[in-house]
Amino acid sequence: MRRSTHLVFRARLTGFHVAAATGAVATLALLAAGAAQPASADTTAATVTLTGGSLSISAPANAGNLGTRANTVASGTISGSLGQVQVLDARSPVAGSGWVASVISSAFTPPTGPAIAASAVGYTAGSITKVGTAVYTANDPGDLTGVSPAVTATAITGDNSATWNPTISVLVPGGMAAGVYSATITHSVV
């Protein structure tokens, strides 16, 4: 008789474990389904602010020698690469806006003697590497006496950039004195 009591007790214990395990599975299923909520909850709203950046242009500080030509009685052209010019537009501009990158040159002056006028200096933008949505136009001014559009961006949507490596051409009049002629080329963007 003792043996059967023991078996009955085991049967009851086994039944208890099965019931407990089934209840735990049911509880886990309710938690996973989101049915069980915490006793208390509180939410906090948070924001971050991103302000518009700026419109900027960069160009090489020193292009070095654009080229050499033997002096002759006739005029001739010296051309060379200025180096990378880049416009960065992080203003978050509205759709349809634009910018104009401009250039101006001083005269090319030697240590002594007459200078080569800025009207003899030309600018060719060449290929333009584009980032963002905009229409870029190379204006290629042939006279840098005054501030002249070099590259124009129109139909902008959002941030954008343009990079180019312009060629500077200097028409050297015939009969100029031999020497090194220097000028300053200035870029701006609005």
Domain residue limits, the chain = 1-38, 55-173+182-189
CATH 1.10.101 fits 55-173+182-189, yes or no: no
Beta strands in the chain (DSSP E): 55-58, 76-81, 85-89, 97-105, 121-124, 128-138, 148-164, 167-172, 185-189
Average pLDDT on 71-96 reads: 93
N residues, the chain: 190
- Whether 19 has a pLDDT exceeding 80, the answer reads no
Higher pLDDT: 95 or 2? It is: 95
The distance in angstroms from the start CA to the end CA of the chain is 104
Spatial distance between the Cα atoms of 5 and 18, rounded to a whole number of angstroms: 20
113-148 confidence digits (pLDDT tens) = 999 999 999 999 999 999 999 999 999 999 999 999
Alpha-carbon span 13 to 20, nearest angstrom = 10
Which pLDDT value is given to residue 38?
72
Structural element, H or E, at residue 16? helix 2-32
Q: Does the global pTM surpass 0.85?
A: no
- CA–CA separation, 173 and 182 (whole Å): 15
